[in-house]
Structure 1
Amino acid sequence: MAARAPTQRLLRLSRPISTQTTASASASPKTASTTTLNPAHSQTITLSDGRTLGFAEYGDPRGRKTLLYFHGYPSSRIEAKLLDKLALAHSIRILALDRPGYGLSTPQRPRRSLLDWPRDVEAFAASQHLDRFAVLGLSGGGPFAVACAHALPPRTLTAVGLFASAPPWAAGRHHMTRARRILRVLANRCPGLVGALTMLALRFARWLVGTRSVATRLDAWLELANEQAREKEARRLKADPTAQPRTVTAPDARPVAEQRVALLDMLIGEPFAQGPDGAVQEARILTDDDWGFRLNDVTYRDSPIKIWHGTKDVNAPIEAIRYLAGKLPNAELHEFDQDTHYTMGEHIEAAVLDLMGETQKEKK
């Protein structure tokens, strides 16, 4: 789908708010994964309050540019593996962080807020000796990228991006689906119940995918998806011989059984390795009308905050994203006609390269 012409709005900015934390040396991983991960994909640091923060490194370890990747909801750092080859080809270093309660990162108690995340990010950046970096929030990671744009010293950020971002509920609850409105109520009033139901659902899902019949069907679906991806890529390259092959949406060359295990690990293994606390907390945070700051007070101003979003996204209605772009002091909204939350993946490569100031033909 072609993107509409981006809209850009510039408003007066307020003074920056900075955070200060420190991080110590790496801690031992605290989760058992269903797959064997590359050591670079299972790293940790210990924060000043004793919590563990997990992260993975993808792309070029000595890349010219650094991108901090904030995963979706619920998910984990290994989500960013899809960008590994793209980042390597363009000399980009990707550091994907687990938010509290996901993957290797221990939960944060008591009542966590959106603005706690920039403090963790600043501590992480200090531990990795990062002076400047870009941030990209995908889906549920979007609001956390906005929080960093507000709370981190602007001099540390080279770019800020939101891809298929979760919406601000301040735009109006009427934009959200009934299921999400119900989740909001339960997460605030009965978090223990949400956690218990989540664990029951996870146990059932793990049992179900372990049965031969479901595993066989899942393998068949993966084979079909790979074949469709091959055909689609062939048509695209035939239509435009100058186009570069895609890496994110390219067919997976691994044995289908290995693909299945990796997929399940990404969907339910790592996100819930420490239980449902992270997801329950974020259900409350992401549906809160108040993010802890006003959108028009966001301090990052060096370049527009770039937003890529599908107009048919039911998870995050475009009306709420337009509200977000309109309130931010400096935003650039790219709308993709007919794309949903799940078809936006076709545009992730171009979005990452745009955010990092690269083009398809600028390779190391």
Structure 2
Amino acid sequence: MAVQPGGKDTLILLSGRTLAWTVYGGDLQVNEDQEPPAVVFYFHGFPSCSSEASQIEPEVLQQRNTRIISVDRPGFGNSTHYPERRILDWPNDVLAIADHLHVPHFYILGFSGGGPYALACAHSIPRITGDDFDETSNGRLLGVSIMCGAYPFTLNANGMMTELRVLLAAGAWLPRFATGSLFDWVIGRAARDPDPKVLEKAMDAAIMKRPGTEKTAWTKPKIKAAALDSTRGAFQNGGAGTATELMLLNDWGFELEDIDGRGIRLWHGKLDRNVPLGMAEQAAELLPGAKTHFCDETGHLDMVFHIEEILDNLLGRACHNDE
């Protein structure tokens, strides 16, 4: 099926839930005389939605003959809220979309709060085991890259912004209705305000507390527009999805040690205050075989400046050969 780039598409699962996504970079299917594109599933941050991936320039994808399928997680954007979900349910949602779109093999790119979901896929989706893989094998996953990923909060969080620590603690100890109301009061109301300047002003103020490199990223119209739009999408239906996800970020349902780290790339900014570098360093130790790329003079929001290098690294090799 031809899916128009940049437009929302949806799939209704047998359970009745709706999954929504946006395709970036061009059509998924091409003419027989053209080389099939590489397909990358993009997992957005928290709280966010699929339009976050619009910050990636189309030319970057077209030059690499790559398509991004950016998916709204349940409760965000146009995907149905699913309060009983677990992080380990996510791989089945991804495979449902891949099957629906006739995508046999794919890569995964997770940003920030999308990191745990990328790792869940590395945990549960069969991987390609060689460069010249057998088309009849059950392997689906070619490689995983995580940009400024969230990691278990039991790891070294020294340097994390105080307000973020408070919100994460609230997710661990308060009932979901309370955290949903809190997030909706803090961000949701501004995100749904008919005056777009209300959210922009609030996010402008938040960015002023970030490292200088992130302030520079915020001056880029495409990055700022993607952040604002994806935040609006995250709260378009209230704060329930955010509350559920915050609870799940405090209890992944699996351990990093359960994952084969080969074929996983961890990209992290040394100036990151959302997820301090120490968390990524400790996570890497628990993922034997994972490759780390710790970027100087880089925070959280500005990791997108490295997107070409990240994509080239991700698309260059299948899982087991990144040694």
Query: TM-score, with normalisation over the residues of structure 1?
Result: 0.69
Amino acid at match of 2:301: Y
1:169, distance to aligned residue in structure 2 (A): 1.8
1:137, distance to aligned residue in structure 2 (A): 0.3
Matched position secondary structure for 2:237: coil
Matched position secondary structure for 1:182: helix
The structure-2 alpha-carbon separation of the partners of 1:251 and 1:281, relative to structure 1 and needing over 3 Å to count, comes to closer
| 2:288 aligned to which of 317, 326, 329 | 329
Higher relative CO (Cα under 8 Å, sequence separation at least 6) belongs to 1
How far does the alpha carbon of each residue in 1:125-166 deviate from its partner, in whole angstroms, 9 at most, with x for none?
111112110001011101110110001112211111101111
Pair 1:293-2:267 in alignment: no
The structure-2 alpha-carbon separation of the partners of 1:334 and 1:261, relative to structure 1 and needing over 3 Å to count, comes to closer
In the other structure, the counterpart of 1:275 is: 238
In the other structure, the counterpart of 1:187 is: 171
Amino acid at match of 1:153: P
Amino acid at match of 2:166: I
In the other structure, the counterpart of 2:183 is: 198
The structure-2 alpha-carbon separation of the partners of 1:55 and 1:190, relative to structure 1 and needing over 3 Å to count, comes to same
1:199, distance to aligned residue in structure 2 (A): 2.5
Instruction: Report the identity percentage.
Output: 35
In the other structure, the counterpart of 1:109 is: 83
In the other structure, the counterpart of 2:229 is: 265
1:292, distance to aligned residue in structure 2 (A): 2.1
| 2:47 aligned to which of 47, 50, 74 | 74
Q: How many residues align?
A: 283
| 1:306 aligned to which of 265, 271, 275 | 265
Pair 1:158-2:142 in alignment: yes
The structure-2 alpha-carbon separation of the partners of 1:262 and 1:129, relative to structure 1 and needing over 3 Å to count, comes to closer
How far does the alpha carbon of each residue in 1:70-96 deviate from its partner, in whole angstroms, 9 at most, with x for none?
011111111111223311222101111
Matched position secondary structure for 1:130: coil
The structure-2 alpha-carbon separation of the partners of 1:342 and 1:44, relative to structure 1 and needing over 3 Å to count, comes to same
The structure-2 alpha-carbon separation of the partners of 1:261 and 1:314, relative to structure 1 and needing over 3 Å to count, comes to closer
Pair 1:96-2:57 in alignment: no
Matched position secondary structure for 2:87: coil
How far does the alpha carbon of each residue in 1:144-202 deviate from its partner, in whole angstroms, 9 at most, with x for none?
10110001112211111101111222324666554334323322323212222333333
Counterpart contact for 2:146–2:267, Cα < 8 Å: yes
- Distance, in Å, in 1 between the alignment partners of 2:69 and 2:275 is 25
Matched position secondary structure for 2:316: coil
The structure-2 alpha-carbon separation of the partners of 1:318 and 1:173, relative to structure 1 and needing over 3 Å to count, comes to closer
1:353, distance to aligned residue in structure 2 (A): 2.1
How large is the RMSD of aligned CA atoms in angstroms?
3.2
- Distance, in Å, in 2 between the alignment partners of 1:121 and 1:263 is 23
- Distance, in Å, in 1 between the alignment partners of 2:61 and 2:219 is 15
1:312, distance to aligned residue in structure 2 (A): 1.6
| 1:44 aligned to which of 2, 6, 10 | 10
Matched position secondary structure for 1:160: strand
Gaps of 5+ in 2: 31-35, 128-138, 208-215, 318-323
Query: TM-score, with normalisation over the residues of structure 2?
Result: 0.77
- Distance, in Å, in 1 between the alignment partners of 2:254 and 2:175 is 26
Q: Which has the larger radius of gyration?
A: 1
Q: 1:8-19 alignment to 2 at 5 Å? A: none
In the other structure, the counterpart of 2:151 is: 167
Matched position secondary structure for 1:43: strand
Counterpart contact for 2:91–2:124, Cα < 8 Å: yes
Counterpart contact for 1:160–1:306, Cα < 8 Å: yes
In the other structure, the counterpart of 2:213 is: none
Pair 1:138-2:111 in alignment: yes
Amino acid at match of 1:286: L
The structure-2 alpha-carbon separation of the partners of 1:314 and 1:158, relative to structure 1 and needing over 3 Å to count, comes to same
The structure-2 alpha-carbon separation of the partners of 1:250 and 1:340, relative to structure 1 and needing over 3 Å to count, comes to closer
- Distance, in Å, in 1 between the alignment partners of 2:158 and 2:250 is 13
Counterpart contact for 1:176–1:317, Cα < 8 Å: yes
Pair 1:356-2:320 in alignment: no
The structure-2 alpha-carbon separation of the partners of 1:260 and 1:115, relative to structure 1 and needing over 3 Å to count, comes to closer
Counterpart contact for 1:150–1:300, Cα < 8 Å: no
- Distance, in Å, in 2 between the alignment partners of 1:340 and 1:300 is 24
How far does the alpha carbon of each residue in 1:90-123 deviate from its partner, in whole angstroms, 9 at most, with x for none?
210111110000101001132x221111111111
Gaps of 5+ in 1: 1-24, 26-37, 222-231, 233-247, 254-258, 359-364
Matched position secondary structure for 2:291: strand
1:325, distance to aligned residue in structure 2 (A): 1.0
Matched position secondary structure for 1:343: helix
The structure-2 alpha-carbon separation of the partners of 1:262 and 1:338, relative to structure 1 and needing over 3 Å to count, comes to closer
Counterpart contact for 1:175–1:320, Cα < 8 Å: no
